[in-house]
Each structure stands twice: as structure tokens, then as C-alpha cells.
Amino acid sequence: MEKATILSAEKAIPSNIDNGSSVPEAGTVSDQEAMRRLGKQQLFKRNFGFASIFGFALILMATWEAVLATVAFGLGNGGPSGLLYTYIGVWIGFTLVAVSMAEMASMAPTAGGQYHWCSEFGPRNFQKQLSYVVGWLGILGWQIGVTIGAFLSGTILQGLLILSYPSYSPQRWHGTLMAILITFITAGFNMFFVHWLPFVECIILFLHFAAWFAMLVPLWVLAPKASNAEVWNSFIDSGWGNSELPFR
């Protein structure tokens, strides 16, 4: 077996290196210790640091960007109060999900995530079946996520064209072509310029926060102030005559 591929146990876990330091051959010592707990050796070099992986997570979630793109649906089916209460409920629910996933990640820190945890922590008689189903659902989720991201980006670009050029006549196929173009650009970047990805993630992380403040401050200062009743007790049921319906 080639020396460049497999590290010896003595070389994999140096005794005089801090856990946060980087080992050029195979990531950090913490990575190697986590793999050793699973009975495996760390063989891949770490490409992402804390800032780049943090930026990747925030960009993937697209928190305030997604809210701006979809807030019209919530305002039309629930109103300001319905949107606010739903946000609080979703925040609490996903906090519990994140805590549960963090606990499993601390016990089995692998890139596989959910499908691997099903094989480790699921009922013994159904571990393989659950892992198989969850793995394919994860792949389907990735494909849907790429499609949604490209579609929203394409339609946002089309909206900017409408704002900038009043004579522009928007067509649905224009947005579709923009979504396809964005998909090809992102796929090409990930295939041919992947070594630049950590640097780009850090830049977009900065833009994520800078643009958030650029959106928040004008709204905070210039938007008309609403009363407490309008904030906490203003529901829109879209004509169904039932204020509980928007929550369903």
C-alpha cells in the first residue's frame, strides 16, 4: 500500500500538536482523532476552515434572502402576525432538530450525516433499510435544492431586469433560461475551480452580512411604524373566514 495514501498510526496522531492545528497530509488532529474513534483513518486533506464552512452553511440556508423571496406568500396567507408566529414556531422546532443533530454529530462525526446516523442509531432490525431510504432522500433533496436555488436566482435576475428596463417584456421561458445558465455556471465552478471555493465562501459570507445590514437599516429607519395590535394580532386568511387556516 502506498505511503502517500495510508498514514501510519504514529504519524496520524502526533503527540506534540494542538488539536486545532493543521496536519498537511490529512486535515487537523481533531479530524484524525474523530476518525480513530470510528475505527477509521483520516486520509483526506481539509480544504475548509471555520470561516469558509460557516459561510457555506449560512449561504446554503439563505435565511434573509429566502425570506425576501418568499415573504409575499406568507403575508397573503396569514398576514403579518401569522408570518411572525409561524417564524417563531419554526425557529423553536428547528432548534430542537439542530440540537438533536449536533448530539449525533458529536458521537459520529462523519460527512454522511443522516444516512450514516440511521445505520448507527436506528432500530437494529431496520438500520440498513432506513439508511438506504434516507440516503436516497438526501440525494433527492440536494437535486431539489439546486433546482430551487437556480430558479429563484433566475427569477430574481428577471425581476431586476424589469425594474431596470421598463420596456422589457418578461416571458416565463426567460426565467427558465436564466435558471439553466446559473446551473451550468455553478456546476462548472465546482468542477474546474473547486480549489477557489473556500476563498469564495469567505467573500460571500462578508457580502451576506453586509447586504443584510444594507437591507435592515433602511427598513428600520424609513419604514412606517406599526402598532402592537398590527404586529401581534393582524391575520389574513385569504378569504376563508378562519384565522386558524393560515397556520395549516
In this structure, of 127-136, 141-150, 200-209, 234-243, the range with the lowest mean pLDDT score is 234-243
Residue 150 buriedness (CB in 10 A; 0-12 / 13-18 / 19+): buried
Q: pTM above 0.75?
A: no
Q: What is the CB neighbour count within 10 angstroms for residue 179?
A: 21
What residues does each domain of the chain span?
1-46, 47-247
11 vs 213: which has the higher pLDDT: 213
Instruction: Please report the pLDDT score of residue 246 as a whole number.
Output: 58
Cβ count within 10 A of residue 78: 22
Q: In this predicted model, what pLDDT tens digit does every residue of 159-202 receive, in sequence order? A: 889 888 888 888 888 888 999 999 999 889 888 888 888 888 88
- With contact defined as beta carbons under 8 Å apart, do 77 and 239 qualify? no
**Residue 85, burial from CB neighbour count under 10 angstroms (0-12, 13-18, 19+):** middle
First to last CA, the chain: 58
State the angle between helix axes of 79-107 and 63-76 in degrees (0 to 180), rounded to the nearest 10: 140
Each residue's pLDDT tens digit, 76-112: 777 888 888 888 998 899 999 989 888 888 888 777 7
Q: Report helix, strand or coil for 14.
A: coil
